[in-house]
Structure 1
């Protein structure tokens, strides 16, 4: 396990999902230690069990406080754009919602679709995209979409275009 942590050290810092493979080994080791501590007769029973319970409480409290930050959306513009998509498009619409590959923006739209433009907009339209929504108003893909398709709504923070209504 130590070799894994050393070899993948930088990956563990950048992407926490590399740590998932270590979770079973760490869990079993912690469980073994907790069982030993709980059943230990080397120290007073009240002290060892108090330490065990306190450790578990600290573990869950720390974990909850760290994970809570992952669920905060600190970008009101994507929430505003998502609400507009929900208001202006059919529930079964498929959207392109590019936001540097972050799926949080697509989630805010409450629609299925693409969180990134990995090919051309035309190819994604052929795959079924109905609307384009963005908060990057000066992005080259956005400028291309504005030039070619009807804009449903545009504000200072977001833009929604209908990909089935080309400009004539």
Structure 2
């Protein structure tokens, strides 16, 4: 039997600048606001997923500023799907079935606990080529990536970014 492999996302080329922006923004200490909670709940409803989160990628962790359908407040950056999403801040990111994607097949979030199969995210882009984190949705069942739905997820992520940007 072959043990599935997963790879942590590489750090973006502008990681030092991105991390400074995360630290200056104050979002790591931010307590979810009703407006951010509404955006996350809307993302879950839009994509018909049981879980959604507004995540910030820190040095070694993924911090959930707001979440819907999950109890965790953070995960390791090494297993964070959103750490992959921030690598292309201008693009929506979608994984139809994490078991079939070599980057994620052996990820603990796929194999244990939440058992993520479907994942979609819109990066929280605060400058060209720079994202603090992502608005993401996920499910334990695989599904197709629907372009119109992902575009609306991007609109919600832009709204969330505007709410946290004054801290940046």
Q: Same fold (TM over 0.5)?
A: no
Larger radius of gyration: 1
TM-score by length of 2: 0.30
TM-score by length of 1: 0.30
Highest RCO, 1 vs 2 (Cα 8 Å, sep ≥ 6): 2
Q: Which has the higher helix share?
A: 1
